[in-house]
Structures are given as structure tokens and as C-alpha cells.
Amino acid sequence: MSSNANDGGAVAAAMPTKGGNKELYLLGISFCTLWSSAFIAAKFGLTAAPPLAQLTVRFLFAGALLWAGMLILGKKWPADRRDLVTGIALGVLNNSAYLGLFYIAMQSITAGLAALIAALTPLATVFLAQPLLGEKITKRALMGVALGLAGAAIVLRERVGSGADDMVGVVLGGIAMLCLTSGTILYRKRGSHSDPFVMVTVQTITSGLVLIPFSLAMEDWGSIQLNTTFFLSVAYLSIMLSVVALLIWFRMIRIAGASRASAFHFLNPGLGMLFAFLILGEPLSLIDLAGLVPIVFGIILVTWVPAGRKAMKSPV
């Protein structure tokens, strides 16, 4: 999907063709696999460094890589001040606030539950996308959101009720999820016309700079263990998440709109809990698996666009 920041026109919010669905699902599954694996890599990283310090190093390293990429590719910083401000705001919402709060939360909740809370993003996005972006909410989409929410609630009730996770961590995770939702809406409304590589660069560098004072004030950098775990965690999260996953995510929003793209977050709890079970040895119950069934069907209902349907229009 293409858009232009200067014509004030409407653009397609969804790909109407079968090929569009295939691209969206391929991108969505790739994104969710990377996004869910981040919770595992972060858990490993937290054994070597405080949460905000780990994030600060990650974003500054990823920002340096992206900046170098801009120089190699001959890309320039946004000429429009509004685009630059949008990129900075995205850095605060999508990275500094969202991941900062989640990393703190993961000190008291499991990686699987963290992935589950993040998966509630579509619920908020779908309802905000209609008044803020003009994206139409169909009955089928609402049914899909309801199924996804029901599945997430099944798992959430089981895990919090068992005492395995702390409620403070759950609340922090919820606030973090709302920050990501706000970032998704903002990008769709004001940033989707910009070069995604440049936007990711601005966002990532901003994130690292914003977190520096908070990390220095709240954490002891002398406690960082410069071991293999720390370097592997930072390298994986910097390259695969801060660069690759975000480029995929921005592409998903551009071709499918905020509501449909965000629906894939419902898939994260399943993958997150599976990775946590296989790699970290965290428990995985039959109730967890049962909750994933409505989540999968919910994603299909929200994201699928039948062949031949006209693309929806939404302002940017």
C-alpha cells in the first residue's frame, strides 16, 4: 500500500487480494516468532544486567547499526520536522515506555504471561482505530477480538490465580501494552508515509537516549556482568527485534492497517509460552493450550480479507 503525506487523500487500509493475505500472514507469523522470542532473550539478559540498563545498551547498539545503514544506503534524516517528532514519539511509546515497563514487570512475572499481556494489544487497537483512524470495525472483526480476548483471559486467570505471577507486574505490563497501542495508532496516522528504515532509526536512537537518565537513577550499572549471556542477549535483541522485527511491523501496518496488523499480537502468548516451556522450562498446562484455540480463530476472523473485496479507506 502506498500513501502520500502531502495530498491529504485516503489510502487503502487493507489488501483486498488473496496475495495480500498471503503476504500479511507470512509477515505476521515472522513478526510474532521474533516478538515472542524477545521475552525469552530478555529473561536471559536479566540475569546479567538490570532491565533498563540492558534496554539502553540494546537500543544504542541497534541505533548505531541503523545509523550506519542509513549512511551506506544514502538515506537522510526526515526533512519534515513533523516526521522527526513522530519518530521521537514512537521511540518513547514503542520502546522506552513499552519495553521499559515490560522489562521491569518481567522481574515479577513469567515470560509467558508477559507475552500474553502484550497480546491484548489488538483489543485496544481495534476500538481506537475506528474513531482515530476511520478504520471500519466489522461484526466479524469484533467476534475475532472477543475470541482472542476470551482465550487470553483463560490463560491469564489460570496464571494469576495460581500465584505464579505478581499483580504489580501484571499492571505494569498492562500500561506497557497501552503504550504500544498508542504507538501503533500514531504510526498509522502520522508515520506510515515515511521511509520505515529512517523511522526505525529515529525511534531506536531516541529510545536509548531517553532511557539513559532513568537507568542511571534507578539501577547500578556496576552490577552488569559482561559475560556471554549479556552480549548474546543484546546482540539478538538489537538486530532481530529492534531492526528486523520493527521493519516487518511497520510493513504490516502499511499494507493492512492498524487493526488487522495488531490482531497478530494475539498469537504471541502461544508462541511465548511455547518458547518459555521449551527453553526456560516454565510450566505449560492444558488450560494454557485450551486458551490458545480461540486466540487462533480470533486472529483469522480479524485479519482475513476475502478475495475480491474492495479495500477499506482510512485517512492518514
Average pLDDT, the chain: 79
Q: How high is the pLDDT of residue 134?
A: 67
**Run of H or E including 12:** strand 10-12
pLDDT-based confidence at residue 306 (cuts at 50, 70, 90): low
Q: How high is the pLDDT of residue 10?
A: 29
Does the residue 3 lie in any domain? no
Residue that wins the pLDDT comparison between 308 and 10: 308
Lowest-confidence pick of 60-69, 84-93, 257-266, 297-306: 297-306
> Residue-wise over 223-244: b if at least 16 C-beta within 10 A, else e?
eeeeeebbeebbebbbebbbbe
Distances (CA, A) of 307 to 183, 288, 304, 310: 30, 34, 9, 9
Residue that wins the pLDDT comparison between 203 and 140: 203
Residue 64, number of CB atoms within 10 A of its CB: 15
Q: What is the pTM of this model?
A: 0.71
Whole-angstrom distance, CA of residue 256 vs CA of residue 7: 20
Mean pLDDT of 214-220: 92
pLDDT at 11 over 60: no
Number of domains forming the structure of the chain: 1
Q: How high is the pLDDT of residue 303?
A: 66
Burial class (CB in 10 A: 0-12, 13-18, 19+), 202: buried
Does the residue 124 lie in any domain? yes
Does the residue 152 lie in any domain? yes
Does the residue 2 lie in any domain? no
Per-residue model confidence as pLDDT tens digits over 38-65: 878 888 888 899 989 999 999 999 999 9
Does the residue 314 lie in any domain? no
Q: Identify the domain containing residue 175 by its residue range.
A: 18-306
Does the residue 7 lie in any domain? no
pLDDT at 210 over 90: yes
Q: What percent helix, strand, coil does the chain show, rounded to 5? A: 75, 0, 20
pLDDT at 234 over 70: yes
pLDDT at 7 over 80: no
Does the residue 176 lie in any domain? yes
What is the DSSP secondary structure assignment for residue 106, as one 8-state letter?
A: T
Does the residue 195 lie in any domain? yes
